[in-house]
Amino acid sequence: MLTVLAVIGVLVALLAAWNVPVAIDAQVQDRFTRLLAHHGQRSDIVIVDIDESSLAQLGPWPWPRSVVGELVRRLRDRGAKIQIWDAYFAEPAAGDDALNAALATPGRAGKAPDVVLGQVLVLDPHVQSPPRQGSLKPSATAPAACADLPEGISGHLGVADSLPEASAVGHVTATPDPDGALRRLPAVVCRGTERFPQLTLAAVERLAPEMPWSIVAGNPLLGPDRWLARGPWKFALDHQGFLPIPYRQDHAQWQALTALQVLEGRAGGVDLRGRIVLVGATALGLADTVSTPFHANAPGVSVHAELMAAAAAGAWVVAPPHRATAAVGVFLLGAVVMGVVVPWLRRPSVMLPLGLLVALMPLGVALVARMVDVQLPVSAPIAGLMLVAFALAALQIDRERRLSRLLATHLESVLPRELALEIARQRPSGESLGRPGVGVVMAVRVVGLERWSAAVDSLRALALVHGISTLVERHAGQQGGRLEQVQGETLLSVWRLDPLGAGDQPVREEQRRHAVESALRTARALLVELQDLLVHSEGESQPLGLRIAVELGPYLLAVAGSPNARRPLLLGSAVDAAQGLLPLCEELASPLLLGHAAAATQPRVTLQPMGSFLLPDGASPQLVHRVDP
């Protein structure tokens, strides 16, 4: 089984790197994101919407540069800590002088610039005739954390040459996954020695201008691959140098003002003093939308809001840097649980469904990990655990077949071949065929129970039968015995003796005496409690009596019949002797009799010899003893 587990573990590692499981895991994590969504507004970030109402009043986008410059000044006057514009201005336009003046004005902290503009890098090589408008603005202070991109920059929408004061610029390039969802962004795009940081990284360079970037290794087990830090700001990077977008809330949860409200001087219930302001288009007509776990057409500005909030708090949703290793770890955890739980059930018909149910455990593990902001692989471990479930079921089926063949071989030595094969095909367990043993057998007979049950109400009869069985089972269990079989009016209990070696004969004798004394204590308790129950239940025409006999010897505890109709059996010389003593109880006027073998253990009770009697299947008469109740 360890070899099978190792082979499946290798398959899980290979499967974890395949595109299909990666895509499935991404969908699962999106569902977890929606399930664990944050509700409530975060006060450090405000979004200024270029929405439909603003477009209706100010005209279609792009607005005149003078209007944009006025919006920059109004936001600064209202105390914005920094303005991050999810917008680009690639071509010269009228009013650039006014916008340049607004960009050149120092911020409230006295340090310029406090406005970060966007630029678009075309990274998709399949784009036909990529645009090349404006100039790309690299950052001399961007960190050396270049994203691993298969292709370089094939085009761009940069910054117009007529805007020389736009010195703080970050890229707003979207890199959606094959299913169209945006889950990560390149932190820094490099072209030769030039570095183009993502918009939020460019903003942090302006928020902490005197502090350098530092790159620190992340957690090798849980992630991320690296941490990118500047002052109090912290970004997570995956192994390809991308920023995982830590989606936590729907776009509507962010505090927001419309651009029209800002230009008209209306507060809108939002205080901008000391706040990070993100300006972006939310009007659907501007097509600045991305697919997120919360919405198929979410405004792109909300992505930058998520990144800024995570960088400020250092709270990122990260994935293990070595996906295959994490998948194998989750798989092995599930395999251990499956190896402990599933083998308890020996039937393959139950084992396989239970194994497949346990195979879904990685979903629960991944959900718990997601609660602490870790994204674990799911699909590859589940596939591996399903293979383990099928392997366990197959091994159990093979084991039962081998046991059946072995059983048939053994039975053929004492039974006709056809009968041996018929028994073996039922695939009984070793215990179901029979378990021989040596011990003390106590036979309890309620005389007249069958006649009384036929004469009274069935519910009343059922209640009495249940009460008798319960009392016998409880008292026998208290003394170390066990009720094994009910045959009409007779109940048979057994005190099993552990087999001992020849050198342990004194211990064996002490064990036998202790078992006989335990059975006699049970019998005496039953003579009191059970006799009271019978007296309260019997009628004048249906009297009930109680007889108990105890004997020591070999027996066979077995189950007979087909798998759908098996019955317990208790056979052997000790059983025959105990049952043979029961009729003598009336003849000897004793409710409790002890057989010869049991009396030979010399139990610490008062015994009265009652003579020798020939019991069923006995070769010679045996001495019977009366036990005082």
Q: Tell me: the pLDDT tens digits for 178-223? A: 999 999 999 999 999 999 999 999 999 999 988 999 999 999 999 9
Per-residue confidence (pLDDT) for residue 560, from 0 to 100: 67
> What is the phi/psi pair of residue 270, to 5°?
-125, 125
Instruction: State whether 386 and 460 are in the same domain.
Output: no
**Distance from C-alpha of 227 to C-alpha of 245, rounded to nearest angstrom:** 14
pLDDT for residue 195: 96
User: How many Å is the Cα radius of gyration of the chain?
Assistant: 42
- How far does Cα 286 stand from its chain's mean position? 43
Q: What CATH number has the domain bearing residue 540?
A: 3.30.70.1230
How many whole angstroms separate alpha carbon 148 and alpha carbon 248? 26
267 and 202 fall within a common domain = yes
d(CA 196, CA 142): 7
- To which residue do tokens 């490099």 refer? 190
Q: What is the per-residue pLDDT for 430?
A: 42
| pLDDT score of 307 | 96
> From CA 287, how far away is CA 298, in angstroms rounded?
10
pLDDT digits (tens, 9 = 90+) for 24-54: 999 999 999 999 988 776 668 999 999 999 9
CB atoms closer than 10 angstroms to residue 88: 22
- What's the whole-number average pLDDT of the chain? 87
Q: Residues with Cβ < 8 Å from 424, sequence gap 6 or more? A: 404, 405, 407, 408, 411
pLDDT of 108 reads: 60
User: Using CA atoms, how far apart are residues 389 and 359, in angstroms rounded to an integer?
Assistant: 8
Stated as kind and residue range, the H or E segment containing 532 is helix 505-537
> If you write DSSP's letter for every residue of 328-392 in order, what string do you get?
HHHHHHHHHHHHHHGGG---HHHHHHHHHHHTTHHHHHHHHHHHTTB----HHHHHHHHHHHHHH
pLDDT recorded at residue 348: 56
Decide if 586 contacts 595 (C-beta within 8 A).
no
CB 278 within 8 A of CB 45: yes
Q: Lowest-confidence range among 85-99, 225-239, 608-622?
A: 608-622
pLDDT single digits (tens) 371-395: 999 999 999 999 988 888 888 778 7
Inter-axis angle of helices 361-371 and 323-341, to 10 degrees?
130
Q: 100 with 170, same domain?
A: yes
Q: Given 313, 333, 364, which residue is the final one in a domain?
A: 313
What is the biggest distance separating any 2 CA atoms in the chain, rounded to whole angstroms? Answer: 130
Helix axes 2-16, 379-411, angle to 10 degrees: 160
Tell the residue number behind the tokens 């995982």, with chain if given.
244
Q: Residue 412, class by beta-carbon neighbours within 10 Å (0-12 exposed, 13-18 middle, 19+ buried)?
A: middle
Q: Which one has a higher pLDDT value, 539 or 484?
A: 484
Write the pLDDT tens digit of every residue in 307-317. Answer: 999 999 999 99
- CA atoms of 30 and 181, how far apart (whole Å): 10
Task: Give every CB contact of residue 63 below 8 A, 6+ residues apart in sequence.
Answer: none
Q: Which long-range contacts link 204-209 to residues 24+ away (Cβ below 8 Å)? A: 204/230, 204/231, 204/233, 204/235, 204/311, 205/139, 205/141, 205/142, 205/168, 205/230, 206/82, 206/111, 206/113, 206/114, 206/116, 206/168, 207/81, 207/82, 207/231, 207/233, 208/232, 208/233, 209/111
Q: Is residue 508 part of a domain?
A: yes
Q: Is pLDDT above 70 for 449?
A: yes
Query: 304: helix, coil or strand?
Result: helix
Q: Do 437 and 418 share a structural domain?
A: no
Last residue of a domain, one of 427, 454, 478: 427
38 in a structural domain = no
Say if CB 124 and CB 101 are below 8 A apart.
no
**Which among 427, 447, 464 is the end of a domain?**
427
The amino acid sitting at 412 is E
Residue 39 covered by a domain: no
Using a 10 angstrom Cβ sphere, with 0-12 exposed, 13-18 middle and 19 or more buried, the burial of residue 551 is buried
Distance separating alpha carbons of residues 487 and 472, to the nearest angstrom = 14
Q: Decide if pLDDT at 247 tops 90.
A: yes
Does residue 345 have a pLDDT over 60?
no
The amino acid present at 208, given as its one-letter code, is A
In a domain, 65, yes or no: yes
For 415-444, write each residue's pLDDT tens digit.
556 656 665 665 444 444 566 788 999 999
For helices 2-16 and 323-341, angle between their N-to-C axes, nearest 10 degrees: 140
Domain hosting residue 398, numbered range: 1-33+318-427
Residue 179's CB is within 10 A of a number of other CB atoms, namely: 11
pLDDT attached to residue 127: 87
Residues 128, 246, single domain; the answer is yes
Angle between helices 2-16 and 19-35 (to 10 degrees): 80
Q: Specify if 386 maps to a domain.
A: yes
**Both 359 and 498 in a single domain?**
no
The secondary element (H helix, E strand) that includes residue 550 is strand 545-560
Q: Mind giving me the DSSP string for 235-279? A: EEE-TTSEEE----S-GGGSEEEEHHHHHTT--TT---TT-EEEE
Residue 43, pLDDT score? 67
Residue 192: CA atoms inside 13 Å, Cβ hemisphere, count? 2
Domain count, the chain: 3
User: Per-residue DSSP letters for 170-185?
Assistant: EE------TTSB--EE
**Token couple for 179:** 């299913």
pLDDT band at 98 (very low <50, low <70, confident <90, very high): very high
Q: For residue 208, what are the β-bridge partners? A: none
Of all residues in the chain, the percent with pLDDT exceeding 90 is 57
What is the distance between the alpha carbons of residues 277 and 430, in angstroms, rounded to a whole number? 76
- 140 belongs to a structural domain: yes
- The pLDDT of residue 431 is 41
Does position 618 have pLDDT exceeding 60, yes or no?
yes
Task: Say yes or no: 202 and 68 in one domain.
Answer: yes
**pLDDT on residue 425:** 61
> Do 259 and 270 fall into the same domain?
yes
> Following DSSP, what letter does each residue of 568-601 receive, concatenated?
EEEESHHHHHHHHHHHHHHHTT-SEEE-HHHHTT
Q: What angle do CA 180, 184, 187 make, to 5 degrees?
A: 140
Query: Is the domain of 482 the same as that of 399?
Result: no
Q: Are residues 118 and 27 in the same domain?
A: no
Q: What local confidence, expressed as pLDDT, does residue 433 receive? A: 54
Work out whether strand 188-191 and strand 289-290 pair parallel, antiparallel, or are unpaired: unpaired
Q: Is 530 in contact with 544 (CB distance < 8 Å)?
A: no
Whether the per-residue pLDDT at 248 is higher than 80: the answer is yes
Helix (H, G, I), strand (E, B) or coil at 45: strand
Per DSSP, the three-state class of 612 is strand
The β-bridge partners of 612 are 623
How confident is the model at residue 372, as a pLDDT?
A: 93
Please determine, for residue 505, whether its predicted confidence score (pLDDT) is greater than 60: no
| Digit-coded pLDDT (tens) for 129-177 | 899 999 999 999 999 999 999 888 999 999 999 999 888 999 999 999 9
Residue 40 lies in a domain: no
Query: Is the same domain home to 63 and 211?
Result: yes
Same domain assignment for residues 53 and 72: yes
